[in-house]
Amino acid sequence: MVAGTDLRRAAEILASSSRAVAFTGAGISAEAGIPTFRGRGGLWETFRPEELATPEAFSRDPRRVWEWYAWRIRKVLSAEPTPAHRVLAEWEAEGRLAGVITQNVDGLHQRAGSRRVVELHGRITQARCTGCYKTLEFEAPPEEVPPRCRDCGSLLRPDVVWFGESLPEVDWRKAAELSRSCDVMIVIGTSAVVYPAAQLPLIAKASGADLIEVNPERTALSKTADVSLRMRASAALTALDKLLRR
């Protein structure tokens, strides 16, 4: 149970902010039925990251990697944005939120209506050619795996960041800039252990921003957060939204 005082405190911080930014992880999409990575029921309980989410795994067994991605693409395409995604999109439209930085690859922020979204880890419904680098957007999971490029015949790969790969430079720069310039960062549904992404709330804090954490569990960031709401994303965001509209 969350103390109402924490919710009110978080709402006050947001109400007096002039440049808030959201930083999100898999937990914000958990209620949309998309499994998280860590914790109970998380993907890494059943799958080994190094067998599926690395460039080495892909060169060893592209079919196996693609089968897993096709399964995840199917889940993402049949999911709907949650009330938490929708509240963030509304806040942006109303000028309360300067943008969303997400570690998620599911595209649910954009589908909820968010416009300024930095996707740090890529997008799962997009593939890119390993030969000619052309990208392609899936409207359905690929029927044949591994899929190949129509133009040059090379293997396509998921357009996501794998372990051992660097983040897209432009996106990282945008995310770091948003983190440095915000006055509040609301951190939702991330275990905050995967770097460099997990550095962003620390950059925000070091630049003077307040940190509001929304996560039912304690995380690596909890000791640094100004307020931790131990709630699910949708319950917390709708409660905050209500308080802000009073």
Active-site positions?
A: 121
String of DSSP letters for 36-50 = -SSSTT-HHHHS-HH
| Cα four-point dihedral sign 187, 243, 9, 183 | positive
CA nearest to 100, candidates 207, 208, 35, 190: 190
- Burial string for 101-125 (b: 16+ CB within 10 Å, else e) reads bbbbbbbbbbbbebeebbbbbbbbb
- Of the two residues 88 and 129, which places its CB atom closer to Zn ion in the complex? 129
Of 28-36, 68-76, 133-141, 142-150: span binding ligand OAD (CB under 6 A) = 28-36
Give how many residues touch ligand OAD by CB under 6 A: 25
The reply to whether 232 sits near ligand OAD by the rule CB under 6 A is: yes
- Determine which residue in the list 25, 99, 141, 201 makes contact with ligand OAD, applying CB under 6 A: 25
Give me the residues paired with residue 211 across strands. Answer: 185
CA nearest to 159, candidates 195, 135, 194: 135
Among positions 69-108, residues that touch ligand OAD (CB under 6 A) are 103
- Of the two residues 26 and 98, which places its CB atom closer to ligand OAD in the complex? 26
Report what 222 binds from Zn ion, ligand OAD, none; CB cut-off 5-8 Å by kind: none
- Of the two residues 17 and 219, which places its CB atom closer to ligand OAD in the complex? 219
Residue type present at position 185: M
Q: Which residues bind ligand OAD (CB under 6 A)?
A: 25-27, 30-31, 36-39, 42, 103, 121, 160-161, 189-191, 194, 214-217, 219, 232-233
